[in-house]
């Protein structure tokens, strides 16, 4: 169960709709009519490009020595993070295509023992007994704009290692904290769509889902880094047990 921030406009959606509105150029997909460079002003464009569709998550199962890791990948067409609520036109980071994931680790008896959520360049894990649930389903909270996943509502400092040191220096000069905001808003129970490393066909795409990332401070916008790659090219997919177990517990 995915709980969105009350100010969030975009639910996790299907990849096919994104690809239908994008063109392939230079090893990356780029939504034709919109640009992440426009920041908050681009929200309506991405809303218009992303045709309404029931929310989905993409699911995969991995087995090792009797253990099982269940991965649930969430895709958003547009990521627009700001350290403020309401989101600020002066401070933001934006990119097309956004992948986040929830992992549930099962023991040899098929019982859940831990859940792990991705956020930016890392994640966190929690004992299953301490995970909020609705029935058998774990509940996660999607941060406003960035869609980083947390176990509870709150204001969370992002890991400094996820940012270029130059960007952190600018935030510090302006006195702006680099934080996510998660809160109780609309709750979704997305349909699970099974995927493998090779199916559907877009799982084999080696490029980026979206144009370059953009970072904006007052009076200046910078491009840095490529958009994210698909699930099968993330370390979490390649090491489904070791990666979440390496994240901090809390």
Q: What is the pLDDT of residues 191-237, one digit of tens each?
A: 999 999 999 999 999 999 998 999 999 989 999 888 899 999 999 99
Distance CA 60, CA 223 (A): 33
Name the region of 15 (left: φ>0; alpha: ψ -120 to 50; beta: rest): alpha
pLDDT band (50, 70, 90) for residue 49: confident
pLDDT band (50, 70, 90) for residue 181: very high
Predicted confidence at residue 114, as pLDDT, reads 98
Distance CA 151, CA 162 (A): 20
Residue 168, classed as helix, strand or coil, is helix
Q: In DSSP terms, which residues pair with 154 in a beta bridge? A: 182
Distance CA 131, CA 68 (A): 18
pLDDT band (50, 70, 90) for residue 129: very high
Q: How many CB atoms lie within 10 A of CB 151?
A: 20
DSSP assignment of 106-140, as one string?
Answer: E-TTS-EEEEEEEETTEEEEEEGGGS-EETTEE-E
As a whole number of Å, the CA-based R_g of the chain is 18
Residue 186 DSSP symbol: -
Predicted confidence at residue 136, as pLDDT, reads 92
Contact between 126 and 102 (Cβ < 8 Å): no
Burial of residue 159 (number of CB atoms within 10 Å: 0-12, 13-18, 19+): middle
Predicted confidence at residue 63, as pLDDT, reads 97
User: For 65-107, what is each residue's pLDDT tens digit?
Assistant: 999 999 999 999 999 999 999 999 999 999 999 999 999 999 9
Whole-number average pLDDT of the chain: 95
110-128: average pLDDT: 97
DSSP assignment of 4-69, as one string?
Answer: EPTT-------HHHHHHTEEEETTEEEETT--GGGGGGGHHHHHHHS-----EEEEEEEEETTEEE
Predicted confidence at residue 225, as pLDDT, reads 85
Non-local CB neighbours of 38 within 8 Å, separated by 6+ positions: 45
Distance CA 203, CA 222 (A): 29
Overall pTM surpassing 0.75 (yes/no):
yes
């Amino acid at each position: 169960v995915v709980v969105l921030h009350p100010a969030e406009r975009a639910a996790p959606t299907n990849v096919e709709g994104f690809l239908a509105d994008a063109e392939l150029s230079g090893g990356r997909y780029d939504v034709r009519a919109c640009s992440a460079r426009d920041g908050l002003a681009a929200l309506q464009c991405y809303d218009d490009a992303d045709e309404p569709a029931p929310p989905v998550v993409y699911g995969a199962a991995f087995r090792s020595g009797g253990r099982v890791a269940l991965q649930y990948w969430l895709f958003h067409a547009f990521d627009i993070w700001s350290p403020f609520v309401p989101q600020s036109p002066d401070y933001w980071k934006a990119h097309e295509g956004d992948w986040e994931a929830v992992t549930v680790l099962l023991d040899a008896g098929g019982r859940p023992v831990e859940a792990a959520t991705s956020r930016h360049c890392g994640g966190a894990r929690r004992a299953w007994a301490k995970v909020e649930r609705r029935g058998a389903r774990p509940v996660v909270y999607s941060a406003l704009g960035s869609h980083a996943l947390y176990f509870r509502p709150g204001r969370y400092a992002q890991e400094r290692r996820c940012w270029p040191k130059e960007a952190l220096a600018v935030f510090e000069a302006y006195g702006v904290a680099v934080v996510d905001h998660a809160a109780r808003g609309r709750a979704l129970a997305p349909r699970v769509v099974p995927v493998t490393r090779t199916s559907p066909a877009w799982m084999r795409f080696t490029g980026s889902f979206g144009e370059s990332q953009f970072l904006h401070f007052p009076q200046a916008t910078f491009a840095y880094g490529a958009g994210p790659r698909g699930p099968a090219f993330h370390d979490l997919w390649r090491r489904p047990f070791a990666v979440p177990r390496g994240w901090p517990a809390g």
